[in-house]
Amino acid sequence: MDIFRLKELRKERGLSQVRLAIDLNMNQNTISRYENEEREADYSTLILFADYFDVSLDYLLGRSPIKDMMR
């Protein structure tokens, strides 16, 4: 099981890597590398993903099973 939940969140929303890359002003290849754990996102990029998907950083990084920080 992947710890980094980017791919899972993207698929839940029905987004392609290309759509996510466009929405976040990133390269599709970069999204692919993050999802395949070939590259690690820096702190500001992790925050960008968490904000985009409206989840906590702990959830995004696989440290918590709870998506919403307020629960």
Q: What is the CATH number of the domain that holds 19?
A: 1.10.260.40
In a domain, 69, yes or no: no
Look up the domain containing 25 and give its range.
6-60
Q: Is the pLDDT of residue 1 over 50?
A: no
Q: Which residue has the tokens 């702190």?
A: 43
In a domain, 50, yes or no: yes
Residues 67, 12: contact at Cβ < 8 Å?
no
**Angle at Cα 26 formed by Cα 56 and Cα 10, nearest 5°?**
45
Domains held by the chain: number: 1
Question: Could you tell me the end-to-end alpha-carbon distance of the chain, in angstroms, rounded to an integer?
Answer: 24
The whole model's pTM is what? Answer: 0.89
Q: What is the pLDDT of residue 70?
A: 61
- Express each pLDDT in 5-42 by its tens digit: 999 999 999 999 999 999 999 999 999 999 998 999 99
